[in-house]
């Protein structure tokens, strides 16, 4: 038997329990990039939604906004999982710090 922390509790585990625990941890760890990408897509979609009014037929969207919106849409294709933490980084006030999220003013 081995001792293992399971849900914050140190306890003895049989070999079978240890294997099940290790498999559960590996499965959840493998899903982390997927969870991060889902969060990135949520943020991206919100940023696009905030500027959808600029795409209305009676508006002429500035090129810098068109370029920024396209870069938001391209985030999944242009960033692999090694960049997800940078994209989700926040400052001490909870604001996203990656420049991709900042709407340009010109």
Residue 35's pLDDT is 95
Indicate the pTM of the whole model.
Answer: 0.74
Residue 4's pLDDT is 64
**Taking Cα atoms as reference points, which of 23, 32, 37, 13 lies closest to residue 88?**
37
Structure tokens at 106: 């010109």
What distance in Å separates the CA atoms of residue 90 and residue 54, rounded to the nearest whole number?
27
Residue 8's pLDDT is 73
User: pLDDT tens digit string along 3-38?
Assistant: 666 677 777 888 888 888 888 888 888 889 999 999
**Taking Cα atoms as reference points, which of 55, 91, 92 lies closest to residue 70?**
55
Q: Left if phi > 0, otherwise alpha if psi is -120 to 50, otherwise beta: which for 3?
A: beta
Whether the CB-CB separation of 39 and 46 falls below 8 Å is answered with no
Give SS3 for 36.
Answer: helix
Which of 14-18, 71-75, 90-94 bottoms out in mean pLDDT, i.e. has the lowest? Answer: 14-18
Residue 37's pLDDT is 95
């Amino acid at each position: 038997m081995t001792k293992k922390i399971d849900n914050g509790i140190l306890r003895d585990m049989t070999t079978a329990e240890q294997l099940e625990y290790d498999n559960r941890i590996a499965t959840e760890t493998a899903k982390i990039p997927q969870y991060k990408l889902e969060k990135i897509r949520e943020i991206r979609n919100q940023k696009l939604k905030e500027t959808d009014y600029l795409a209305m037929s009676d508006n002429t969207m500035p090129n810098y906004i068109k370029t920024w919106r396209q870069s938001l849409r391209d985030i999944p294709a242009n960033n692999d999982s090694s960049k997800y933490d940078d994209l989700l980084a926040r400052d001490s006030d909870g604001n996203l710090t990656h420049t991709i999220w900042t709407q340009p003013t010109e």
